[in-house]
Chains A and B, each alone.
Chain A
Amino acid sequence: MNLLTLVLALPLAAFLGALCLPRSSSGRTSRVWALVSSLAIFATSLGLLAWFDRTAAGEQFLLDVPWIGTPNIHFAISVNGVSLWLVLLSTFLTPLCVLISWNSIKDRCKEFYAFLLLLEFGLVGVFLAQDLFLFYVFWEVCLVPMYFLIGIWGHDRRIYAAVKFFLYTMAGSVLMLAAIIYIYNKTATFSYPAILEMLANGRLTFPAGEQMLLFLAFFIAFAIKVPLFPLHTWLPDAHVEAPAAGSIMLAGVMLKMGTYGILHFCLPLFPSAARACAPWIGVLAIIGIIYGSLVALVQPNLKKLVAYTSVAHLGFVVLGIFSFTQPGLDGAVYQMLNHGVSTGALFLFVGIMYERRHSLEIADYGGVATVAPWLSTAFLVTTLASIGLPTLNNFVGEFLVLQGTAIANFTWTVWASLGVILSACYMLWMYQRVFYGVAGPEVRGHIPDLNVREWAAILPLIVMMVWMGVYSQSFLPPVGKITASILEQTNVNVPYRVSLPTKPPKAPPAAPQPTEVADAR
């Protein structure tokens, strides 16, 4: 029983506790319960950060308990430099979600907060699981609470969105299950570290064709979650229809399940297939960036606009991962965190605005800055962060990703940079239409400025945006250690990579580059 177990067990305990609240209890009781427990969970996870050895690479806080005898399934969890941040992101966003839902969720409060806590449990579990089977269990467990969050507390087309969300993810993940079973039949273990070790010392190899199929089985499941163009169609529906807290968790953390999965499982397990597919995936990611940006540009719906920016931003993450360079991978991970913070904040603002004006149409706003100056200022900071203004968080991530892709394939960089420009267009134009201009009577009457509770939800996010933008050194070193080892693993068991003649000459300059970058930062 170490600290990590506690971080994983507390959300489950809080969920069960919320379920046990008597039916007669008021909504306030469940709100307070959810807030207190989620803050306690966050505090515990900060302890994780305190005791995390930042100088060491590899997995820490290992826990490995046999769960099922045959087949040999273990309850194996541990944390590394990447998953640590993602766990912290989940535990950080959950209390903010509770705060933002404080007044907007009136119906069936107890169930709402119970599902939110169950979702947190699933998300933390996904990032910690080191047993493929356990990973799949948590992966699916996340699905159920999110399905209910969208379906019960969502907007008008919530049922359609919830079912679509569930079916998309389910269809993708059953193939991943088949691949997991296949790997088990081959290796007789679900333990991920053990499989990696077998790969490293050559006791296990996946022949090219088999590796490609397995890679695709995993990758499609992850790509649906990311979502990578053209598998993204569930996302606008789910985001728009979900309640504010649901959107925040969905965009902030759930999408990262996909990118984390690609980084953590696809690359080390199937390096040659990943490299073989990289050109195609890179192109899809770029299409996603540009397509997402263009669609966001013409969205009349505020929430849908933010949803499409997610497609674009996650495109950057995928692009960074498939550049197979140190800055690219670092940037991808950093961009995952940035997107969690800044898009989480954007959805939070959208939730706040909806609570006031009960509309998501951009046309229904205008001149908000005159009536709610603080709200506008805070929103502006978030907007600028999302665009990627230097000194705010997204800049660092996007810069690293673009640098990584420049090393791998300069054409990609050119195209992806277009996305950065477009992001400024759609975000600023949206900001202009919503906050500037003449305030109509509805806006004047219905939009008060931020109150204390909302400040409490927003301020931590803005602090994080600035901190992550100004001093990335407090986050990146542990990430770099893990991404370096993942890159190393992608060089193991690559039988036909040698046949790509263009890559090796480019590879040597890639090595010194990262250190220069680190110094430059």
Chain B
Amino acid sequence: MPASPVFAFNPQDVLRFLPEIILTVMGTLLMVLDPLIHKRSSNAFGHISLLALAAALGASVYAYSIGGPAFGGMLMVDGFATFFRVLVIVVGILTILPSYRFLARQNAETSEYHALLLFSIAGQSLMAASNDLIMVFIGLEISSIASYILAGYLRDDKRCNESALKYFLLGSFATAFFLYGVAIVYGLTGSVNLLTIRRAVLHQAAGDPIFLAVAAALMFVGLAFKVSAAPFQIWAPDVYQGAPTPVSAFLSAGPKAAAFAIFLRIFVTAFSPIGNRWEPLVWTCALASMCIGNFAALLQTNIKRMLAYSSIAHAGYVLVALTARSDTGTAAAMFYLASYAFMNVGAFSAVTVLTGKGERYQSIDDFKGLGRKQPLTAALFSIFLLSLIGVPLTGGFFGKFYVFKAALDSHLYWLTVLGLLNSAVAAYYYLRILVVMYFQEPGEATNAAEPLSPGLRLALLVPALGTLFLGIFPTWVLEFAGKSSAIVK
């Protein structure tokens, strides 16, 4: 049994925990302020949450400068944690930008939307920094419960309700799996601290290896659900389709990034000694996600559903990087998630521009002639789509490039070839959107589309610049990811 850590209060611990504190406090504040702020100036909620996120962003960077373990090793503020904290906070900012116009359009401007978003981000940020299975679980729950409600935010909408219910039922089921795994691991090693578990596994002091494998598999199932990897992807299309579009954007990037952070932490840290046991599992999952995601997306007519399947496929690409089980693989996964966050949130924001009141226009055909009616929206949407295809000079291309490079480094030849062929298949359904936007004449939806509001313009421009930046000058982000991936152990 490891000696129980001494919990002495250390002011630095609080500073390392500052981003989560800011987000929670501001979220609560928003709820309190709700009655005080007049409905007319409802943009104020958005401004306050942007402010909170900006402050949290600053706090994360500050926490990195005084990095180290906090609260007796329950949290670990290192480069890896900071990377994902910054990532989920940026996703939050990118979600709020299109939300202004979206909420106004649905007459649903309330503080709870923003408060829930902040709570969810706080949970994800906690996940990114946790180094202890209990903290992981708490973060996961904070993040998930807030996102269940967000998915059903438009409560008069049937699809929205279906989305929330489905997400909640399947999500809690998956969390239970995860928790079961945690319980077994605790039983085997007597600890929930990842580093202690790793030591125990390494010295084969973790009891029966079969039980350990079962525990790893259970946790894998829970996390695979959260990242919507096949065969646990069933919920994603319904949830993304039903949820309010900015929330779909958020769900497809934020919780996924945080879940992958945990995935990497647990499997690359604690379970890395039994890596050759779980590698086939992840290998299969990666391939299945890519194939199911891409081939199912070919058949979709609803754009949100199509993007949902595409996000399943992209989870598959990240799993390829995980299968590589190397530092380059971890760095590739981190880089991929960053570029994926930009391009996918951007794509959903572009969808937000068009959906209209009550989200009437969701069909791919509704984008007919957008290139003629709203050249800027169409051009920026094209950048996101080309990035999702993986055309050079976009972040998506470099992400794929690093992922498959890491896979080849680890001699995963078949997975690489199949994955690359998959990405050629994927080109087809992304091109379909380009086809309707540019090669067809405007239809009802594009004619009815309102002009681009400043918030939406920003919501498209920022991720587009991010995508291009990661595609042309990836060095900076990649070097940071590479540096942090080595720290994980």
Chain A residues near B (Cβ < 8 Å): 23, 68-71, 108, 136-137, 140-141, 143-144, 147-148, 151-152, 158-159, 162-163, 166-167, 170-171, 174-175, 177-178, 181-182, 184-185
Interface presence of B170 (CB below 8 A): no
Interface presence of B399 (CB below 8 A): no
Most buried by B among A152, A178, A182: A178
Contact of A70 among B420, B424, B427, B478 (CB under 8 A): B478
Count, chain B residues at interface, CB 8 A: 33
Q: Are B420 and A137 in contact (CB under 8 A)?
A: no
Most buried by B among A152, A171, A181, A184: A181
Measured between beta carbons, the chain B residues less than 8 angstroms from A71 are: 405
Contact of A167 among B386, B424, B482 (CB under 8 A): B424
Interface of A is mostly: helix
Q: Are B404 and A177 in contact (CB under 8 A)?
A: yes
Interface of B is mostly: helix
Q: Cα distance A69–B375 when bound, in Å?
A: 36
User: Contacts A167-B424, A167-B427, A178-B408; is A159 near B435 (CB within 8 Å)?
Assistant: yes
Q: Are A170 and B408 in contact (CB under 8 A)?
A: no
B410-442 residues with Cβ-Cβ distance < 8 A to A are: 416-417, 420-421, 423-424, 427-428, 431-432, 434-435, 438-439
User: Contacts A70-B478, A152-B438, A177-B401; is A171 near B386 (CB within 8 Å)?
Assistant: no
Q: Are B408 and A185 in contact (CB under 8 A)?
A: yes
Measured between beta carbons, the chain A residues less than 8 angstroms from B473 are: 68
Contact of A144 among B391, B401, B404 (CB under 8 A): B391
Q: Are A174 and B392 in contact (CB under 8 A)?
A: no
Most buried by B among A23, A108, A136, A137: A137
Q: Are A163 and B420 in contact (CB under 8 A)?
A: no
Q: Which 3 A-B pairs have the closest CB atoms?
A: A137-B392, A174-B420, A171-B424
Contact of B386 among A68, A144, A177, A178 (CB under 8 A): A144
Q: Cα distance A171–B372 when bound, in Å?
A: 30
Most buried by A among B375, B386, B431: B431
- The smallest beta-carbon distance between A415 and chain B, in angstroms, is 34
Q: Could you name 15 residue pairs across A and B whose Cβ atoms are closer than 8 Å?
A: A68-B473, A68-B474, A70-B475, A136-B392, A140-B391, A141-B392, A144-B386, A147-B431, A147-B434, A151-B438, A152-B439, A174-B421, A174-B424, A178-B416, A181-B404
Q: Cα distance A177–B424 when bound, in Å?
A: 12
User: Contacts A163-B431, A167-B427, A171-B421; is A184 near B482 (CB within 8 Å)?
Assistant: no
User: Contacts A68-B475, A171-B424; is A148 near B391 (CB within 8 Å)?
Assistant: no
Q: Cα distance A324–B416 when bound, in Å?
A: 33
Contact code string B350-366 (vs A, CB < 8 Å = 1, else 0) = 00000000000000000
- The number of A-B residue pairs with CB atoms under 8 Å apart is 80
Q: Cα distance A487–B488 when bound, in Å?
A: 50
Interface presence of B479 (CB below 8 A): yes
Q: Cα distance A158–B435 when bound, in Å?
A: 10
Interface presence of B21 (CB below 8 A): no
- The smallest beta-carbon distance between A25 and chain B, in angstroms, is 14
Measured between beta carbons, the chain A residues less than 8 angstroms from B444 are: none
- The smallest beta-carbon distance between A448 and chain B, in angstroms, is 32
Contact code string B312-351 (vs A, CB < 8 Å = 1, else 0) = 0000000000000000000000000000000000000000
Q: Are A162 and B439 in contact (CB under 8 A)?
A: yes
Contact of A177 among B420, B428, B434, B482 (CB under 8 A): B420
Q: Cα distance A174–B386 when bound, in Å?
A: 15
Q: Are B431 and A166 in contact (CB under 8 A)?
A: yes
B473-487 residues with Cβ-Cβ distance < 8 A to A are: 473-475, 478-479, 482
Measured between beta carbons, the chain B residues less than 8 angstroms from A144 are: 386, 391
Q: Are B439 and A159 in contact (CB under 8 A)?
A: yes
- The smallest beta-carbon distance between A91 and chain B, in angstroms, is 22
Chain B residues near A (Cβ < 8 Å): 372, 375, 386, 389, 391-393, 397, 401, 404-405, 408-409, 416-417, 420-421, 423-424, 427-428, 431-432, 434-435, 438-439, 473-475, 478-479, 482
Which residue on chain A has the smallest CB distance to residue B392? A137
Q: Are A141 and B393 in contact (CB under 8 A)?
A: yes
User: Contacts A141-B393, A174-B420; is A158 near B375 (CB within 8 Å)?
Assistant: no
Which residue on chain B has the smallest CB distance to residue A213? B413
Q: Cα distance A496–B482 when bound, in Å?
A: 41
User: Contacts A68-B475, A152-B439, A182-B408; is A137 near B393 (CB within 8 Å)?
Assistant: yes
Q: Are A70 and B386 in contact (CB under 8 A)?
A: no
Measured between beta carbons, the chain B residues less than 8 angstroms from A185 are: 405, 408-409
Measured between beta carbons, the chain B residues less than 8 angstroms from A143 are: 391
Measured between beta carbons, the chain A residues less than 8 angstroms from B432 are: 163
Measured between beta carbons, the chain B residues less than 8 angstroms from A148 are: 438
- The smallest beta-carbon distance between B70 and chain A, in angstroms, is 30
Q: Are A174 and B393 in contact (CB under 8 A)?
A: no
Q: Are A151 and B386 in contact (CB under 8 A)?
A: no
- The smallest beta-carbon distance between B413 and chain A, in angstroms, is 8
Measured between beta carbons, the chain B residues less than 8 angstroms from A181 are: 401, 404-405, 408, 416
Measured between beta carbons, the chain A residues less than 8 angstroms from B372 are: 108
Which residue on chain B has the smallest CB distance to residue A171? B424
Q: Cα distance A252–B485 when bound, in Å?
A: 47
Measured between beta carbons, the chain A residues less than 8 angstroms from B474 are: 68
Q: Cα distance A162–B440 when bound, in Å?
A: 13
Q: Cα distance A163–B425 when bound, in Å?
A: 12
Q: Cα distance A152–B408 when bound, in Å?
A: 38
User: Contacts A177-B401, A181-B401, A185-B408; is A70 near B479 (CB within 8 Å)?
Assistant: yes
Q: Cα distance A170–B423 when bound, in Å?
A: 9
Which residue on chain B has the smallest CB distance to residue A217? B417
Question: Beyond A162-B439, A178-B420: 7 further Cβ-contacts under 8 Å?
Answer: A68-B478, A69-B479, A167-B428, A174-B424, A177-B401, A181-B401, A185-B408
Q: Are B405 and A184 in contact (CB under 8 A)?
A: yes
- The smallest beta-carbon distance between A175 and chain B, in angstroms, is 7
Measured between beta carbons, the chain A residues less than 8 angstroms from B479 are: 69-70
Q: Cα distance A253–B401 when bound, in Å?
A: 27
Q: Cα distance A152–B434 when bound, in Å?
A: 10
Measured between beta carbons, the chain B residues less than 8 angstroms from A159 are: 435, 439
Measured between beta carbons, the chain B residues less than 8 angstroms from A69 are: 475, 478-479
Measured between beta carbons, the chain A residues less than 8 angstroms from B424 are: 167, 170-171, 174
Q: Are B438 and A163 in contact (CB under 8 A)?
A: no
Q: Cα distance A162–B435 when bound, in Å?
A: 9
Contact of B417 among A151, A170, A175 (CB under 8 A): A175
Q: Are B417 and A178 in contact (CB under 8 A)?
A: yes
Q: Cα distance A225–B345 when bound, in Å?
A: 34
- The smallest beta-carbon distance between A260 and chain B, in angstroms, is 18
Q: Cα distance A69–B428 when bound, in Å?
A: 32
Measured between beta carbons, the chain B residues less than 8 angstroms from A140 are: 391-392, 397
- The smallest beta-carbon distance between B466 and chain A, in angstroms, is 17
- The smallest beta-carbon distance between A251 and chain B, in angstroms, is 22
Q: Cα distance A178–B419 when bound, in Å?
A: 10
Measured between beta carbons, the chain B residues less than 8 angstroms from A136 are: 392
- The smallest beta-carbon distance between B286 and chain A, in angstroms, is 16
Q: Cα distance A140–B421 when bound, in Å?
A: 15
Measured between beta carbons, the chain A residues less than 8 angstroms from B421 are: 171, 174-175
Which residue on chain A has the smallest CB distance to residue B426? A170
Q: Cα distance A167–B479 when bound, in Å?
A: 33
Which residue on chain A has the smallest CB distance to residue B474? A68
- The smallest beta-carbon distance between B433 and chain A, in angstroms, is 12
Q: Cα distance A147–B474 when bound, in Å?
A: 26
Q: Cα distance A161–B375 when bound, in Å?
A: 23
User: Contacts A70-B482, A140-B392; is A158 near B427 (CB within 8 Å)?
Assistant: no
Measured between beta carbons, the chain A residues less than 8 angstroms from B408 are: 178, 181-182, 185
Measured between beta carbons, the chain A residues less than 8 angstroms from B427 are: 166-167, 170
Measured between beta carbons, the chain B residues less than 8 angstroms from A163 are: 428, 431-432, 435
Q: Are B420 and A175 in contact (CB under 8 A)?
A: yes
Q: Cα distance A170–B420 when bound, in Å?
A: 10
- The smallest beta-carbon distance between A121 and chain B, in angstroms, is 11
Q: Cα distance A350–B306 when bound, in Å?
A: 41
Measured between beta carbons, the chain A residues less than 8 angstroms from B423 are: 174
- The smallest beta-carbon distance between B425 and chain A, in angstroms, is 8
- The smallest beta-carbon distance between B218 and chain A, in angstroms, is 34
